[in-house]
Structure 1
Amino acid sequence: MIKIYYSSESSVGKQTYAYLNASFKDLLAIDVTKTNVTGTQWKELAQQLNIKIGDLVDHEHPTFTKNYDKDASLIEDDWIKLLNKTPEILNYPIVILGDAYIQIKNPSDIEKKLDPNSMGLDEKTSI
């Protein structure tokens, strides 16, 4: 099964979801703007991507910059609260392929990761 965490308010999120949805029957799609993601889940996603929770946030998103400086430094719990309150600020969709957690920065690049010849996926990758 392939799992995707994405924001339907993001063009990268919508495009990545559309590609995966058209390609796979066994897809679990979690639209973070419609489904509550727990703090534990946010923390696990960041850990598996080997990034800080604050790195899951689009620091240039209008909802973020309305209240914070783009260089804001918050503690982990505050980042989690911010993502829970305003999930549309998720910067990139996160695709989980087996044990590989991948932030998708360009929807067309997901095709390379799903190519059957690329089974040696780097488990913590950003595209």
Structure 2
Amino acid sequence: MGIIATNENEIKIYYSSETSIGKQAYAYVSASEKKVLGIDVSKTKVPGSHWVEIADGLNIGGIQKLINREHPDFIKEYGDKKMDLDQHDWLRILEKHPETLAFPVVIMGKRMLMIKSPSDFVKYMEPDTTNQENPD
């Protein structure tokens, strides 16, 4: 990772408190025994460089995948037609309309996770005895 500071003993969550999944995911993450840093994108401006790093870390194929194009605010502003924009344009949409963030993103140490349902985080809170990472 590069720009976003990470710590094995801290969990960062990028979420929107304006969405039910954002609020619920934040509640699940807050139940963790680790220190939690919640970044509510509806109240805190997130730099474009962070969004680029998040999209790369999630390996989702670009900034546009972070945006919920079915969100009412997105449709109201940009319509429901398929848009062919460059990365810079998608960043501007996310910066101007953070409520369109498609899903919360959790950063735990070097891992970045998409939280598509609030309970997705639960499986990451429990120790994984079947697929432990190699410390080398």
RMSD: 1.8
Q: Which has the higher helix share?
A: 1
Structure 1: gaps spanning 5 or more residues: 123-127
State the TM-score, normalizing by the size of structure 1. 0.88
1:99 aligns with 2:105: no
Distance 1:48 1:87 in 2: 19
Distance 1:70 1:120 in 2: 42
What pairs with 1:1-127 in structure 2 (closer than 5 Å)?
1-51=10-60, 52-68=62-78, 69-117=80-128, 120=131
Check whether the contact 2:12–2:36 (CA below 8 A) recurs between aligned residues. yes
Distance apart, 1:108 and its partner CA: 1.0
Distance apart, 1:16 and its partner CA: 0.6
Structure 2: gaps spanning 5 or more residues: 1-9
Check whether the contact 1:4–1:30 (CA below 8 A) recurs between aligned residues. yes
State the TM-score, normalizing by the size of structure 2. 0.83
Superposed structure 1 runs of 4+ greater than 6 Å apart: none
**Pairs aligned (count):** 122
Gap change, CA 1:73 and 1:4, over 3 Å in 2: same
Aligned-pair identity (%):
50
Check whether the contact 1:54–1:79 (CA below 8 A) recurs between aligned residues. yes
